[in-house]
Amino acid sequence: MAGAIALLAALTAGIAFPAGAAAGEPTGQDAPKVDLVLDVSGSMRAKDIDGRSRMAAAKQAFNEVLDATPEEVQLGIRTLGANYPGDDRKEGCKDTAQLYPVGPLDRTEAKTAVATLVPTGWTPIGPALLKAADDLDGGDGSKRIVLISDGEDTCAPLDPCEVAREIAARGIGLTIDTLGLVPNAKLSRQLSCIAEATGGTYTSVEHQDELTDRVNELVDRAAEPVVTPVATEGAGSCDKAPVLTSGLYTDREEFGQQRWYRVEVLAGQELRASVSVAADRAVRPDHGLLVRAVTVHDREIVRGEATGNGRTDVVSTGLRYPKPELEDDDSGKPAAETVCLGVTTSFSADAGVKTTPGLPLELTVDVVDGPDDASDVASFGLGRGWWLLGALVVTGFLAGLVWGWLSRWRVAVWRTN
């Protein structure tokens, strides 16, 4: 598992999409913008996150995130439910304010503002999202709202899911990611719906370090070039699978289903692929993800696999395959190979949980020039690696002889004395 995660991180860090790639383009050269939207309603007083109140955990997470925010990111903070303590619903549903404006970050000033927050009022998620979208207006850099809440919206009929769809329909390239603090099923459904409307992610959080890590990750992601995923539909067999080029793709996969995709890899090139599947509904804790690269004759080349235990909402894995530099005997040109990528999931759910539509799947494909000598990749396995194995055997044999001779000599000296 650790190896798969490390490989996925390496693949993600090394992916470079060519200009004009079918899977999307950067949004522009303007500074990326992030608006952190924090629920400060009365329920944030609950002390169920590592023995501390939800508000205390959020404050600590924000302080650590502010310290780690990249210099190029323009960051702001908006609150909901922070100012109106009364019972007038109409007034409570107006209670959203910009705590720190989106722009170049003064870490000390932002931390001072966060320190003043006290759990107070209602939970107007819909109105807060509309205002947050206005906070991010202007420029063509990436825009991201990170909503952190411990309760569902209390201002219906302004449905926050409909608000998110309205924001998406504006075509301003804004993504909403949501985090639920110690969520119940109803909150999880609402926050998942909000995130899904704009292509964002939903994460449930029960520990302070999880909150810090996830918000940090989302802020860092805003600084990366934005790539728009391309919707595709995997097939039940390789011969009917869509042919993919380098890019980012989305699909949906039913519980226990296997989906196939095809990639053409030339001799001397390296295929890198990573897959993430999000549990956007209640699933049983133990689940797994397997991605296999096989030939058209169903011979496995390499695989990556990962398991989940229910602590996170996403399970990811990856693989890489360097095709050796060979020539086609007939044409003298580098020989191409069709590699079949098979993605299999082993999710299950309790009765009553819908299995359709399938779980959201994100597939990254990158075909790049391979290492100067592709055989070096395998030099610690079979093939040329046998010389290393032989050298280790000989070294071990000689070391054993020397150690045995020294031991006998020491015994002889001891007996003499």
pLDDT of residue 257: 87
Residue 141 exposed, middle or buried by CB count within 10 Å (0-12, 13-18, 19+): buried
Mean pLDDT of the chain: 81
Q: Where are the alpha helices (DSSP H) in 154-286?
A: 160-169, 185-197, 208-222
pLDDT of residue 156: 81
What Å distances lie between residue 206 and 69, 182, 215, 323, CA to CA?
A: 23, 5, 14, 44
3-state secondary structure of 148: strand
Residue 25 has pLDDT above 60, yes or no: no
pLDDT at 300 over 60: yes
What is the average per-residue pLDDT within 303-321?
A: 79
pLDDT category at 284 given cuts 50, 70, 90 is confident
Instruction: Compute the distance between CA of residue 10 and CA of residue 304 in angstroms, rounded to an integer.
Output: 13
Question: Who has greater pLDDT, 63 or 277?
Answer: 63
pLDDT above 70 as % of the chain: 77
CA 60-64-67 angle, to 5 degrees, is 140
Residue 28 has pLDDT above 80, yes or no: no
pLDDT tens digits, 200-222: 888 999 999 999 999 998 998 88
Domains of the chain: 26-222 (3.40.50.410), 230-370 (2.60.120.380)
Dihedral angle, C-alpha 138, 142, 143, 147, nearest 10 °: -170
In this structure, the strands spanning 258-266 and 247-253 are: unpaired
The pLDDT of residue 350: 79
- Selection from 250, 248, 222, 219 nearest residue 234 by Cα: 250
> CB neighbours of 114 closer than 8 A, spacing ≥ 6?
59, 62, 63, 66, 77, 99, 100
- Tell me, what's the pLDDT at 332? 55
> Could you report the per-residue pLDDT of 31-57, keeping only the tens digit for each?
999 999 999 999 999 999 999 999 999
Question: What local confidence, expressed as pLDDT, does residue 415 receive?
Answer: 56
Give the strand order in the sheet containing 359-369.
230-231, 247-253, 359-369, 269-278, 314-322
pLDDT in tens, 340-399: 999 998 888 778 777 778 888 889 898 887 655 444 443 333 334 445 555 655 666 666
* pLDDT tens, position by position, 62-96: 999 999 999 999 999 999 999 999 999 999 999 99
Pairing mode, strands 174-181 and 202-205: parallel
Six token digits for residue 283: 């699933």
Q: Looking at the predicted structure, is the pLDDT value of residue 406 above 80?
A: no
Res. 235: pLDDT tops 90: yes
pLDDT at 118 over 80: yes
How far is the CA of 309 from the CAs of 258, 324, 346, in angstroms? 21, 37, 12
Predicted local distance difference test score (pLDDT) of residue 373: 47
Do the Cβ atoms of 79 and 53 come closer than 8 Å?
Answer: no
Cis peptide before 322 (omega within 30 of 0): no
Name which of 8-12, 162-166, 202-206, 260-264 the model is least confident about: 8-12
pTM across the whole model: 0.55
Residue 18 pLDDT exceeds 80: no
pLDDT > 80? residue 403: no
